[in-house]
Amino acid sequence: MNRGGRGRAGGFVAPGMVALVTDAADAPQPEFRSDVTVELVRASASDSDVLFAARVSTQGEQTLEAAAAGTEASARDRGLINYLMRDRHGSPFEHNSMTFYVQAPIFVFREFMRHRIASYNEESGRYRELRPVFYVPARERNLNQVGKPGAYEFLPGTDEQHALVEVATRDSATFAFAAYQRMLEAGVAREVARIVLPLNIYSSMYVTMNARSLMNFLSLRTKVEGTHFPSFPQREIEMCAEKMEAFWRELMPLTHAAFNANGRVSP
């Protein structure tokens, strides 16, 4: 089988493609990762935020002192939070904010931005030269998709499938980045040169959302036993969701517990 050859810079050359001539010593070398990065940059979020927002409906200005003081929620407040979650009184869960920094492949960001319940700012391939960091699935990542839409199951791949994914991903990313560098060196605008880059190149962004929006995101982007509405997320965005949930669980433990106890349905 013709698998292509190597250009003078050592880059992969696909059959029928022209080799890209670059100075290998100066060109940045592709890096490959199998993980994602999620950091909590800042947060104003606690269980007590839910309480004053809910109690204003019956106590009005009497809630101001507790709201300003940021009094911690106690075990006795668990019942109110669970009631709000169970009966889907959702607005009290919106009076908080969390900002995350995320590094992940671009195809993950395209799924993130299907959620129009958050604020996003992503690094720009128009304004900066993109770094050669690419995603390659880890060995434990399931590769076989079986079932029908809405009820998929993902099963482990064979050794041959994992080898194919590894080699094909690395080779195509290396070739694409060499093409990108070639165009930049020729003076082609970054916004044009980037069109050859694959979806597994890493990007970074800030994403800000409140707890109600995060619960909606988690309900769709995690697969957890006992949820009322099963979801079948792509593993790579689920990796981001799991890290975001871990930060949120520390910030709002009573709210997180109520979310799980009521089937992981956003109120």
Q: List 31's β-bridge partners, or say none.
A: 133
* Cβ atoms of residues 165 and 137 within 8 Å: yes
Considering 221, 235, 249, 264, which one is annotated as catalytic? 221
- Nearest residue to 191 (alpha-carbon basis) of 130, 135, 134: 130
Which candidate, 123, 108, 127, 131, places its Cα nearest to that of 199?
108
DSSP H/E element including 100? strand 97-105
Instruction: For residue 36, count other CB atoms closer than 10 A to its CB.
Output: 20
Tell me if 229 sits within 8 A of 100, measured CB to CB.
Answer: no
Neighbours of 129 (CB within 10 A): 13
Distance CA 237, CA 106 (A): 11
User: CA–CA separation, 27 vs 43, rounded Å?
Assistant: 40
User: In what helix (H) or strand (E) does residue 220 lie, and over which residues does it extend?
Assistant: helix 211-221
Q: How far apart are CA 244 and CA 239, in angstroms?
A: 9
221 is catalytic: yes
The count of C-alpha atoms lying within 13 angstroms of the C-alpha of 44, restricted to the half-sphere facing its C-beta, is 7
Residues forming the active site = 221
